[in-house]
Amino acid sequence: MIAGIDHFVLTVRSVEATCDFYRRVLGMRQLDEPNRPTALVLGSQKINLHEVGRTFEPKAKTPMPGSGDFCLVAAVPLAEVQASLEANGVAIEVGPVQRTGARGPMMSVYFRDPDDNLVEVSEYPLD
């Protein structure tokens, strides 16, 4: 019934700080459209951003900054992601470590964004 994920929403303290972080550290593109939440584009998906006190309807029952915990699949070797994290002063909390994702075994690193969401970036082995 379900083919994939189109987008998910993060509630953040500052859309500006969040966009700066994800653009600078992970190379995402910011998307601003009239009367729509600011979004971060990654591949064919996006992350919509709701700023505390400026959320869009409908929304989660209890939106809170820092409650996100999600995994992103890298488009480049994980070593390049690690280098970007280091260059931008972002501490890796765990990893690289082997995990099992939706497609099987993968290597992951974990770190926090400006709202303390736990972000996992993973790399699947080449087939």
Which residue among the candidates 16, 93, 120, 123 is catalytic per the annotation? 120
> Phi, psi (5° rounding) for residue 106?
-155, 165
Using the CB atoms, write b or e for 47-77: b if 16+ within 10 Å.
Answer: bbbbbeeeeeeeeeeeeebbebeeebbbeee
Catalytic-residue membership of 123: no
DSSP 62-124: S--TT--EEEEE-SS-HHHHHHHHHHTTPPEEEEEEEEEETTEEEEEEEEE-TT--EEEEEEP
Q: What's the N-to-C CA distance of the chain in angstroms?
A: 27
User: Which residues belong to the active site?
Assistant: 120
